[in-house]
Amino acid sequence: MTVVASAAPKARRQQPSEVVVELPSGAAVRFAIGTDTEYLAELVAALG
């Protein structure tokens, strides 16, 4: 998993509404803020 920050001013103005996880395969999976982190960890581990 890679975390990427954006220095673009527009990207920082709004509160985030989702978390995007990019898998090594290049697939991106989006989750709403507040999703159970244990569930996210299990899902990401299963997807590889």
Chain segment 17-43, per-residue pLDDT in tens: 888 888 888 888 888 888 898 998 898
Task: State if pTM tops 0.75.
Answer: no
The residue extents of the domains of the chain are 13-47
**The pLDDT of residue 4:** 65
* Token pair listed for 29: 């999976």
Report the sign of the C-alpha dihedral through residues 18, 22, 23, 29, in that order.
positive
Q: Is the pLDDT of residue 8 over 60?
A: yes
Residue with tokens 């803020």: 33
Residues 6+ apart with CB under 8 A from 41: none
